[in-house]
Amino acid sequence: MGAHRHGPSSSASAPDPEADAARAALVREIAARGAFTDPAWRTAFAEVPRHLFVPFFYVHGIRGYERLWGEDPDPERRSRWLRGVYADGALATRLQDGELVSSSSQPSLMALMLDALDVADGHTVLEIGTGPGYNAALLAHRLGGPAVTTVDLDPAITDAARGHLTAAGYHPAVVTGDGARGCPGRAPYDRIIATCTLPSVPRAWPEQCRPGARIVAPLATGLVALQVGATAHGPRAEGHFLHTPAYFVPLRGAYPAAGPLPHLGGLPRRVAGDDLFRFLLTLSAGALDPHEALSLWEREGRPERERYGVTVDRGRQWAWLDDPRGPYTWPLAAD
């Protein structure tokens, strides 16, 4: 991997020793988890000021959501805001009718996903789900602003992200549009990363990739990493899930939403609440009866996420356990 750095194009903000110390502590915490195999990402997290991208966020309290913001005249509340910004947790950044529609992801999970993206100097990246713009800034720091395109459906989100990115000195292309359709006007891409969850892979994504590209996306409470290859009948994408669970705001737009889990009545409580079993149920998208799923899951030794994968080929896509042509496969609803 290359390690070329593309810092901000202008002075981001006045020095803030408290924020700098908090950011350094967060970077040490992420590094301790082993999320930085490419040292360029550690540099990016150390130098991109997350607090510029999250001028306020919401915490859930007894009386509903409470807003914490960086300009609060109460020093204790401002300190709570800054501690929250540089804690290793996801932050609710935009609500609509009481529902969460945008967030800033957990930094250690962002680092893991960026590392799994396996970028190199000269790569172009499409990000699906702009959020507050922090992830786009990390990508722009690593690859340079012209190499990065980020798409979000909501113009209020993209407008705010442009402002945050400009304040921090980064200038990727910020596009308002349906992320399921990608961004054909700036294709092809070497990498695609999504920061919103979805039940299957939109076919536009592999179609907008160069051969050899990589896609990292949340799917069914996991993270799948796909390699894209060229075939005589079009692009083919295939790969395994990463080991970690992942819960993101769903992709919004015309793309079909994930259906609810099937009723789990009659299953032992320890099984119905097991994260890996529920991952299998979500991934099989109702194709398996819960009792059938339980038999498979126990017979196969309660498989971890890494044993599962996804294939996208010839307008079809399916999930699988161990082998894309093996006995355990489930169709995923394509767009």
Which residues are the active-site residues? 102
**Who's near 292: CB < 8 A, 6+ residues apart?**
none
Could you give the 3-state DSSP secondary structure of residue 87?
coil
Q: Are 130 and 165 in contact (CB under 8 A)?
A: no
Q: Are 217 and 194 in contact (CB under 8 A)?
A: yes
Task: State whether the Cα torsion 137-99-259-296 is positive or negative.
Answer: positive
Alpha helices (runs of H) in the chain, residue ranges in sequence order:
17-32, 39-47, 75-85, 107-117, 134-143, 155-168, 204-207, 269-272, 275-284, 290-299
Alpha helices (runs of H) in 144-289, residue ranges in sequence order:
155-168, 204-207, 269-272, 275-284
Tell me the CB-side half-sphere exposure of residue 238, using CA atoms within 13 A: 16
